[in-house]
Chains A and B, each alone.
Chain A
Amino acid sequence: MAEYLIKNGHVFDPILGIKGEVHNIAIRDGKFVEPSALTSSAKTIDASGKTVMAGGVDIHSHVVGPKVNVGRLFRPEDKLFKSPLRQPKNARMEMGFSVPSTFKTGYDYSRMGYCFVNEAAMPPLHSPHVHEEIRDTPLIDNTAMPVLGNNWFMLEYLKNGEIENNAAYTAWLLHATKGFAIKVVNPGGTEAWGWGLNCVTINDPVPHFNITPAEIIKGLIETNEYLRLPHSIHLHGNNIGNPGNYTDTIDTLKLAEGYSPNCDFGRDQVIHNTHLQFHSYGGDSWLNFESKAKEIMEYVNRQKNLTFDLGVVTLDETTTMTADGPFEHHLQSLNHLKWANVDVELETAAGIVPYVYGKDVKVCNIQWAIGLELALFCNDPMRSHITTDHPNAGPFIRYPRIIKWLMSKASRDELLHSFKWSEKVIGATNIESIDREMSLYEIAMMTRAGTAKALGLSHMYGSFTEGLAGNVAIYDLDPENMPSDPEMIEKAFGRAAYTLKDGVIVVKDGDIVGDTPKSTIWVNVKVPENKQVARDVSEKFLRYYSVNKDNYSLFEEHLHNPKVIEVDITA
């Protein structure tokens, strides 16, 4: 395996506290080492005048699995005249815009300097599908989070306050699906959707199950910390996307008060609130819709046990998809476009609706502003992560554009003042008055160091610390001579000068030039033997599932290049 010395680059590593100083980075056997550990056969990459960061780590993106695939399948028009032509060195063609093919997903992330993506929602029943798609997504390592916030086992255990049983079940499920963390989507509300209903606040009882979303969230935090999982619960709360929902969001975040993380993986949070933009809305209708990013961040800044990602609206035509079934149904009643829905027995649901975030639509412009405001109001970029909730608020290929907006007030203002209803947008948001421009160091926090830490994966990714995976992104940006044109920032982050994955050059000058195996990371928790849970699992499969228990757990042959994180809570 080739050894590399990346020389003279301006290195940004928030974990090591390197803020753009010139450093040399060395890779041997696919991992970072001290430059002195290189042999004479090491090749040199000249990074002088360039920005060098660890490979990007995406904390929340819908890239593989059943609902993503329905999004691909039912939108042929998302491909028509919109797919790039295959590049000469690509192994496979690249199709789609808002919901790209697996190959395009891998290539695009790699071109942006990313090496890891956490799949945001895996319906457990569909885990073999998720792992098949992971196999076909090149160049990026993956984890996938099984959705648990509406699972019948969980609802019953938590209703009875049986945290240990719920934990034993969760450990079984992580093992069965080769999953990574506990994903919660519209807790209780998605189960209610089984009857066409919803839980709008955290105190709405779940039909039949006699439990509230608040109790589910607290119970899952307790379960998560009992299991000492690398990541915290990953929460998409109730009442997403509706005017005035920010109070529900604050109510939800307050549930974390009094809890602290219990694990060996270095995270500080007990809730990661995903795509916070969709949860930071004021007003009581679309007519007086306004930003409450400031209010939300006033709360979040005070709490140390919360992290969040942005979910920035990028003003594109895209495809929304979420396990929040009732929300997607609501959305199709607003825009009347095609609507797919997949309720998954005993577990979850999903809805998919195309959505056009119009550049001249006031509400969409306000949404755009809210996403950026959350980042700009946040005191600690380690806890604030760049996402588009791909593809919900926009495709992930817009991350470089978001970075541009965050780093350049001029670029924000230019867009803001080009809106048809710019005065109204300014009136309903704070964006115009914010002068903050984020630094490359802060961008590194928001795209790799902070995300890796929040995921509990900082022992693998997000820094140049010795022993971590040799994932590197080199961007054509000179921190000492930053371009006056903000477009150059977007361009540099969109087409990395180099991407190295596990020490292999996979991107050069923005083009795919190489290939290397990718990994699937999952968490195996050893828990005390629990006969009751074993019995419950057998019985539910016998009576309620439509597949047999022994066909539900992923067969070993369908797990590809696994890397397991072992947690033992019996010790």
Chain B
Amino acid sequence: MDTVTVTLVNKPELIIEAYNITPDAFAGKSLEEIGNLECHEGNHKTALKEFFTITGKAGATAESTKIIVKGDCTRVKRIGQKMSAGEIVIEGNADMYTGGWMLGGKLHVTGNVDAFCGIQMEGGEFIIDGNADNHLGSSYRGDWRGMRGGLIRVGGNAGSDVGTFMIGGTIIIEGNAGIHIATHAEGGTIIVKGNAMSRVGGQMVKGDVYIFGTIDVMMPGFRYIGDVEKEVDGKSATFAHYIGDLGERHPTRKGEVIYGNLYQKI
């Protein structure tokens, strides 16, 4: 695998939309060509080289391209957007839409990310060592097809609206999560190792949510049906098992109604 290192050296006045920092866009290109890839600062259309120094070498394909992003990218949006293969390591923070619409490959952020990261992800692995803000692994506005596949793992906390309209894949949050987890979900798995606030599983049709800590306010639409032993993210524990949201519509399979599952560790 060949590695390209992009380092943010000129900070933008506003923000940068760096939708071309992906293995897909870099693959098969020279450093000069990569530097000339388009990016935007507001209505100022420019090239990556205005902000970044670029060193190393890109692979012939996305699969064989690794990108290391250095410098403070707290105000750099859309890194890894739509990436299909290869690898990106962001050493530090990144802004909105990091890993948005990700299809495959591996994306690792050692710091924090802002809102809308990993939205409508379809595949691959997205690791955030720090915190993630709102709408992690959520859907774009209006789309009923949220996250479909892949894995998102957050080392710290997540904001509100984790996995809205999720239909597949897994989100694991080592810390706490904000309100609205798995709202409108029709599949997928969300694991919160810390505490949840309220509105867990509201309007949920299908899917699994695991909460290891507390839930501030339980949705009235969930019914306790018993305790179960489950292995979750490599560890076994006993959980109180709830089904719901009973107030929402539910499909049937072979004559049996399918509900969303909420497991709270006892």
**Chain A residues at the B interface, C-beta cutoff of 8 Å:** 74-78, 80-81, 336-338
**Measured CA separation A77–B249 after assembly (Å):** 23
Nearest CB of A to B169, in Å: 19
The list of the 5 closest CB pairs from A to B, nearest first, reads A77-B143, A76-B142, A77-B142, A76-B141, A80-B140
Q: Quick check: is B144 within 8 A (CB to CB) of the other chain? A: yes
The total of interchain contacts (Cβ-Cβ below 8 angstroms) comes to 18
Nearest CB of A to B89, in Å: 26
Nearest CB of A to B51, in Å: 23
Q: Which residues of chain B in 126-157 are interfacial with respect to chain A, using CB atoms and an 8 Å cutoff?
A: 140-144
Nearest CB of B to A465, in Å: 47
A337 in contact with B144 (CB, 8 Å): yes
Nearest B-chain residue to A77, judged by Cβ: B143
Nearest CB of B to A334, in Å: 12
A76 in contact with B144 (CB, 8 Å): no
**B residues in contact with A75, CB < 8 Å:** 142
**A residues in contact with B142, CB < 8 Å:** 74-78, 338
**Measured CA separation A81–B143 after assembly (Å):** 12
Nearest CB of B to A508, in Å: 27
**Measured CA separation A338–B144 after assembly (Å):** 9
**Measured CA separation A80–B249 after assembly (Å):** 28
**A residues in contact with B144, CB < 8 Å:** 337-338
Nearest B-chain residue to A78, judged by Cβ: B142
**A residues in contact with B143, CB < 8 Å:** 76-77, 80
**Measured CA separation A376–B223 after assembly (Å):** 56
A336 in contact with B140 (CB, 8 Å): no
Nearest A-chain residue to B141, judged by Cβ: A76
Nearest CB of B to A335, in Å: 10
**A residues in contact with B101, CB < 8 Å:** 81
Nearest CB of B to A185, in Å: 26
**B residues in contact with A76, CB < 8 Å:** 140-143
For the A-B complex with A76-B141, A77-B141 known, give 14 more contacts whose Cβ atoms are closer than 8 Å: A74-B142, A75-B142, A76-B140, A76-B143, A77-B140, A77-B142, A77-B143, A78-B142, A80-B140, A80-B143, A81-B101, A336-B249, A337-B144, A338-B142
**Measured CA separation A75–B143 after assembly (Å):** 8
**A residues in contact with B249, CB < 8 Å:** 336
Nearest A-chain residue to B145, judged by Cβ: A77
**B residues in contact with A78, CB < 8 Å:** 142
Q: Which residues of chain B in 223-260 are interfacial with respect to chain A, using CB atoms and an 8 Å cutoff?
A: 249
**Measured CA separation A80–B142 after assembly (Å):** 10
**A residues in contact with B140, CB < 8 Å:** 76-77, 80
Nearest CB of A to B82, in Å: 9
Residue among B140, B141, B142, B144 with most chain A CB within 10 A: B142
- A selection of 18 A-B contacts at a CB cut-off of 8 Å is A74-B142, A75-B142, A76-B140, A76-B141, A76-B142, A76-B143, A77-B140, A77-B141, A77-B142, A77-B143, A78-B142, A80-B140, A80-B143, A81-B101, A336-B249, A337-B144, A338-B142, A338-B144
**B residues in contact with A74, CB < 8 Å:** 142
Nearest CB of B to A353, in Å: 12
**A residues in contact with B141, CB < 8 Å:** 76-77
**Measured CA separation A338–B143 after assembly (Å):** 10
Nearest A-chain residue to B101, judged by Cβ: A81
**Measured CA separation A77–B138 after assembly (Å):** 13
**B residues in contact with A336, CB < 8 Å:** 249
Nearest CB of B to A267, in Å: 42
Nearest CB of A to B74, in Å: 25
**B residues in contact with A81, CB < 8 Å:** 101
Nearest CB of B to A303, in Å: 43
Nearest CB of B to A338, in Å: 7
Nearest CB of A to B185, in Å: 14
**Measured CA separation A76–B119 after assembly (Å):** 15
**Measured CA separation A487–B29 after assembly (Å):** 33
**Measured CA separation A77–B144 after assembly (Å):** 9
Nearest B-chain residue to A79, judged by Cβ: B142
**B residues in contact with A77, CB < 8 Å:** 140-143
Nearest B-chain residue to A73, judged by Cβ: B142
Q: Which residues of chain B in 29-69 are interfacial with respect to chain A, using CB atoms and an 8 Å cutoff?
A: none
